[in-house]
Structure 1
């Protein structure tokens, strides 16, 4: 039986995407990236260091990085048979760790000017349920003037990490964050916010309203929504969030101050399904070409930086070249405050 021509064309294109209007192989080889979310330290506040970071950035063709510490640290309990390396390594809690910002700032200040210009540090070391949280942000801005380019990653709803964190449950619309969001708007600092759409067991987006209220109450604050509300643990229990592209599209339409970080948990199974770009996500990114960016979300270890950032190439290659360039590099830069 003969195949109809449109179906035949799709079949012949296959995984190579030869018929798609996106990047050529030569253009992909020359693609320059910005990493929209990278943590300088891991959950025990250790790092490979700046030399390893820049080596990995250069090898991966990553010119710019939104870099931050980690606002929590994992406790090593006396009863543990070994030191935990990750927040889920054992049942011990995590606690808020404000020194993470100073560790990052001091490391950046030792760098030569050309390297410093490639790093865009964010303030992350505060308790998002503390009504005095904004004081820490103000202190960092005073201690390291002209250094900071954003605030976050603010860790709110985050399944097991939330469960292990000592104290009150953080949420995107917590009153303690109002002053932080207002300061961010005053200083033109974007805010990276982690706020899961739902829990591991609930298939409905039970936390969406918290995010919507924060966006509506602070229209002058530019929010970068980390992982579009997804997490590895949600996927482990549910496979994927149903109609995530529709939910994201509705939020983007309603809130001009919302931007999406498509870091690793969004890559599979949303942007790509079995390695093939998803048409609905391609259409959504093309509809809002200035509102998406990519990030690795690595924590303190940089050996996989190139692998992680280039994992987006199949999706980027399926986009028009101008849109792909924005998502891969310039959308993040457009959100940062201007250099002095």
Structure 2
């Protein structure tokens, strides 16, 4: 059999039909804290992600889904842990009606700001998150202006000491925002990150980066060297590469080359982690080349996290539907082996990465009979 066909043949678990049918049998925070003989039964419980590490509680512009509604959406879909991001860019406050997303108004800049993070933090300070464990991320950094970042971290420390456990999503290069004024960070600017990277390193705060690998116009690895420069320059910082480097501008990369590239980077950079959030991955890569990615994820599950990448646009519902986006981004979970399922869908890798495993640990998987 051809090697590529063998690598990418489909593997359909017998329980897949059950995985997304019926009401969720929900886990609770107690399942992550109490020593118990109970285990997670993959044959009867849903394969939806329980640790959604990548949720944008705030949009680029326009009205947001309310904080209370976001908590309800998480609860209704069995999500116990939420990685709360604002969005690091915000359209002008006086943008014309209908400018909710950067895609709606390509003539307007989408500039980095602290606004969304502070709204998220203020909501949490007032209302908390009963039954959910939220992890807040600083999404403000303008990585092209690194000198400003330490002072803004100090502002966060003053207003919300100890609340923010992660930094990002921050953009090294995001081609989707090019029409709105974003340009890739340069290697010279990366060299100037030392001060804020030292702060993150000392606090064990991972940095989650949106760094497009390339595009489908003949340049599949055009921007690879930017992320590699980050990893070589700051080898002791924990870096999360979001969306496996893919984007809407790159939906047709050769999957074998993609997997080999990812494996090589994990092998060379021990503090690199990968994020497999966003439906774009399922739609354009995982669903078409299932077994190759399953094998890769199973092999590296202690370095991989996942999430919906949902953006809380109130004015774009129901197209931006949390349940649908969580289901799409969770589809890969059904094919993973038990270790990978626990690490990724149930969140053990995320808890360990953030040092939360002193308090929370994912349930073990029930042995198959």
Q: Give, in angstroms, the shift of residue 98 of structure 1.
A: 2.0
Consecutive unaligned residues in structure 1, runs of 5 or more:
1-12
User: What does residue 226 of structure 1 align with?
Assistant: 242
The alignment yields a C-alpha RMSD, in angstroms, of: 2.9
User: What does residue 121 of structure 1 align with?
Assistant: 136
Cα distance 1:218–1:45, how it changes in 2: closer, same or farther (>3 A)? Answer: farther
Matches of 1:297 and 1:19, distance apart in 2: 26
Matches of 1:258 and 1:15, distance apart in 2: 28
- Is structure 2 residue 160 aligned with structure 1 residue 164? no
| SS in structure 2 at match of 1:110 | helix
Q: Give, in angstroms, the shift of residue 15 of structure 1.
A: 7.5
Find 2:232's aligned residue among 208, 212, 216: 216
Find 1:102's aligned residue among 93, 118, 127: 118
What is the number of residues matched between the two proteins?
317
Contact 1:32 1:63 (C-alpha < 8 Å) held by counterparts: no
Matches of 1:204 and 1:177, distance apart in 2: 26
Contact 2:11 2:290 (C-alpha < 8 Å) held by counterparts: no
User: What does residue 14 of structure 2 align with?
Assistant: 18
User: What does residue 170 of structure 2 align with?
Assistant: 154
Contact 1:290 1:331 (C-alpha < 8 Å) held by counterparts: yes
TM-score by length of 2: 0.77
User: What does residue 70 of structure 1 align with?
Assistant: 87
Contact 2:11 2:335 (C-alpha < 8 Å) held by counterparts: no
Deviations along 1:319-338, whole A, 9 cap, x unmatched?
A: 21221121112211211144
User: What does residue 253 of structure 2 align with?
Assistant: 240
Q: Which runs of 4+ in 1 moved over 4 A?
A: 13-16
- Is structure 2 residue 294 aligned with structure 1 residue 279? no
Find 1:88's aligned residue among 103, 108, 118: 103
User: What does residue 309 of structure 1 align with?
Assistant: 326
Matches of 2:53 and 2:301, distance apart in 1: 16
Matches of 2:168 and 2:270, distance apart in 1: 19
Deviations along 1:198-255, whole A, 9 cap, x unmatched?
A: 14534330211111111122122111111011111332xxx33552111111111111
Q: Give, in angstroms, the shift of residue 292 of structure 1.
A: 1.2
Deviations along 1:246-280, whole A, 9 cap, x unmatched?
A: 1111111111111111012222222221xxx6111
Q: Give, in angstroms, the shift of residue 289 of structure 1.
A: 1.8
- Is structure 2 residue 157 aligned with structure 1 residue 141? yes
User: What does residue 51 of structure 2 align with?
Assistant: 34
Contact 2:49 2:307 (C-alpha < 8 Å) held by counterparts: no
Q: Give, in angstroms, the shift of residue 139 of structure 1.
A: 1.8
Cα distance 1:169–1:17, how it changes in 2: closer, same or farther (>3 A)? Answer: closer
User: What does residue 352 of structure 2 align with?
Assistant: 334
Matches of 1:53 and 1:47, distance apart in 2: 10
